[in-house]
Chains A and B, each alone.
Chain A
Amino acid sequence: MELYNLPIHSLEKMLTEGDISSVELTAAVFDRIDQVEGKISAYITLDRENAQLAAKRADEKIAAGEGGGLCGIPLSIKDAICTKGLKTTGGSKILEPFVPPYDATVIAKLKEQGAVILGKVSMDEFAMGSSNENCAFGIPKNPWNLEHICGGSSGGSAASVAASECIASLGSDTGGSVRQPASHCSVVGLKPTYGRVSRFGLLAFASSLDQIGPLSKDVRDSAIMLNAIGGYDPKDSTSINKEMPDYTAALTDGLQGMKIGIPKEYFTDALDPEVRAAVDNGIKLLQGAGGEVVDLSLPHTEYGVAAYYIIAPAEASSNLARYDGVKYGFREKESESLAEMYSKTRSQGFGDEVKRRIIIGTYALSSGYYDAYYKKASQVRTLIVEDYQKAFSQCDILVSPVTPGPAWKLGEKIADPLSMYLSDVLTISTNLAGLPGISVPCGFSSKGLPIGFQIQASHFEEEKLFKAAYNLEQQLDLQPKYPTL
Chain B
Amino acid sequence: MEFEIVIGLEVHAQLKTNTKIFCGCTTSFGAAPNSHTCPVCLGMPGVLPVLNKQVVDYSIRMALATNCEINRTNQFARKNYFYPDLPKGYQVSQFDLPIAEHGWVKIEVEDESKKIGLTRIHMEEDAGKLVHDEREPKSYVDLNRTAVPLIEIVSEPDLRSPEEAVAYLKKIHSILRYLDICDGNMQEGSFRCDANISLRPHGQKELGTRTELKNMNSFRNVQRALEYEIRRQRDLLLEGEEVVQATLLWDPDRNVTSSMRSKEEAHDYRYFPDPDLVPIVIDEEWIETARASLPELPGQRKQRFMEELGLPAYDAEVLTAAKELADYFEAALLGYDNAKKLSNWIMTELMREFKGGGPEDIAACKVSPANLAALLTMVQKGTISGKIAKTVFSDMMESGKEAEAIVKEKNLSQMSDEGDLVRIVQEIMADNPEQVEQFRDGKTKVMGFFVGQLMKKTKGQANPQMANELFQKELTK
Measured CB to CB, the residues of A under 8 A from B are 80-82, 88, 90, 95, 98, 100-102, 104, 199-204, 206-208, 234-238, 314-315, 317-318, 320-324, 326-328, 338, 342, 362, 365-367, 370, 374
Which B residues, 214 to 253, have Cβ-Cβ distances below 8 Å to chain A? Answer: none
Pairs of residues from A and B, 8 with the lowest C-beta to C-beta distance, nearest first: A321-B89, A365-B270, A208-B275, A207-B275, A201-B46, A322-B43, A82-B46, A326-B84
Contact A318-B80, Cβ < 8 Å, known A204-B46, A208-B275, A238-B276: yes
Q: Does B268 contact A (CB under 8 A)?
A: yes
- Given known pairs A98-B45, A362-B270, the reply for A207 and B82 (CB within 8 Å) is no
The stretch of B48-56, B153-161, B176-184, B339-347 in contact with A is B48-56
Contact check, A328 vs B270: say whether CB atoms are below 8 A apart: no
Q: Which residue of chain B is the closest to A342 with respect to CB atoms?
A: B82
Bits for B29-70, please: 1 = Cβ < 8 Å to A, else 0.
000000000010011111111110000000000000000000
Residue B428, interface by CB 8 Å = no
Report how far A367 CA is from B270 CA in the complex, Å: 6
B43 proximity list for chain A (CB < 8 A):
322, 327
Q: Which residue of A lies closest to B78 (CB)?
A: A318
Show 18 A/B contacts (Cβ-Cβ < 8 Å), sorted by A: A82-B45, A90-B45, A100-B44, A101-B39, A200-B47, A204-B45, A204-B276, A208-B275, A237-B48, A238-B48, A238-B275, A238-B278, A314-B272, A318-B272, A320-B89, A322-B89, A326-B87, A370-B271
Nearest residue in B to A90 (C-beta to C-beta)? B45
Given contacts A200-B47, A237-B277, 12 further A-B contacts (CB under 8 A): A98-B45, A235-B50, A237-B50, A237-B51, A315-B275, A317-B270, A318-B80, A322-B44, A323-B45, A327-B87, A342-B82, A367-B270
| Residues of chain A with a CB closer than 8 A to B82's CB | 321, 324, 342
B294 at the interface (CB under 8 A from A): no
Our pick among A202, A314, A318, A362 for the contact of B46 (Cβ within 8 Å) is: A202
In Å, the complex CA distance between A460 and B272 comes to 28
Name A98's closest neighbour in chain B (CB-CB).
Answer: B45
- Smallest Cβ distance from A203 to chain B, in angstroms? 5
- The residues of A that contact B271 with a CB separation of less than 8 Å are 365, 370
Residues of A within 8 A of B3 (CB): none
B366 in contact (CB, < 8 A)? no
Per the CB 8 Å criterion, the residue count for chain B at the interface is 28
B45 near A203: Cβ-Cβ < 8 Å = yes
Alpha-carbon distance between A81 and B42 when the two chains are bound, in angstroms: 18
**B88 sits at the interface (CB 8 A):** yes
Contact of B87 among A98, A207, A322 (CB under 8 A): A322
Question: In the complex, what distance in Å separates the CA atom of A425 from the CA atom of B103?
Answer: 48
- Give every chain A residue within 8 A of B80 (Cβ-Cβ): 317-318, 321, 365
Please name all residues of chain A whose beta carbon is closer than 8 Å to the beta carbon of B397 when the two chains form the complex.
none
Given the contacts A82-B45, A200-B47, A362-B270, A321 and B278 also touching, CB distance less than 8 Å: no
Task: Report yes or no: B90 in contact with A321, Cβ–Cβ below 8 A.
Answer: yes
Q: Chain B nearest CB: distance from A94 CB in Å?
A: 10
Are A365 and B45 touching (Cβ within 8 A)? no
Chain B neighbourhood of A323, CB < 8 A: 45
The DSSP consensus for interface residues of chain B is: loop
- What is the interface of chain B, defined by CB distance below 8 A to chain A? 39, 42-51, 78, 80, 82, 84, 87-90, 141, 268, 270-272, 275-278
In the assembled complex, the Cα of A207 lies from the Cα of B277 at a distance in Å of: 10
Residues of B close to A367: CB separation below 8 A: 268, 270
B residues within 8 A CB of A342? 82
Interface centre among B47, B84, B90, B278 (most CB of A within 10 A): B47
Q: Is the CB of A199 within 8 A of B48?
A: yes
Q: How far is the CA of A327 from the CA of B34 in the complex (A)?
A: 12
Cα A318 to Cα B275 with chains together (Å): 11
Give the CA-CA distance A201 to B272 in the complex, in Å: 22
Given contacts A322-B88, A324-B82, A327-B42, contact A235 B48 (CB under 8 A): yes
Q: B40's closest neighbor in chain A, by CB?
A: A235
**Cβ of A204: which chain B residues have Cβ within 8 Å of it?**
45-46, 276
List, in ascending order, chain B residues with CB within 8 A of A203's CB. 45-46
Question: Known interface pairs A90-B45, A321-B88, A328-B44. Does A234 touch B50 (Cβ–Cβ under 8 Å)?
Answer: yes
- Closest residue to A206 on the B side, CB-wise? B275
In whole Å, how far is B463's beta carbon from the nearest beta carbon of chain A?
74
CB distance from B49 to the nearest CB of A (A): 7
Chain A residues lying within 8 Å of B51, measured Cβ to Cβ, are 237
* A residues less than 8 Å from B89 (CB atoms): 318, 320-322, 324
The smallest C-beta distance from A276 to any residue of chain B, in angstroms, reads: 36
Closest B residue to A368 using CB positions: B268
| Complex Cα spacing A365 to B39, Å | 27
Task: Give every chain A residue within 8 A of B47 (Cβ-Cβ).
Answer: 102, 200-201
Name, among B42, B89, B270, B278, the residue most crowded by chain A CB atoms within 10 Å (CB to CB). B270
* Docked pose: A328 CA to B46 CA in angstroms: 13
CB pair B272–A88 under 8 Å, yes or no, is no
Question: Residues of B contacting A365 with CB < 8 Å?
Answer: 80, 270-272
> Closest Cβ of chain A: how far from B231's Cβ, in Å?
33
In angstroms, Cα B84 to Cα A102, docked, is 23
In contact, A100 and B45 (Cβ under 8 angstroms):
yes
Q: How far is the CA of A136 from the CA of B268 in the complex (A)?
A: 31
Distance of A314 Cα from B47 Cα, bound (Å): 19
Within the complex, what minimum Cβ distance (angstroms) separates B393 from chain A?
57
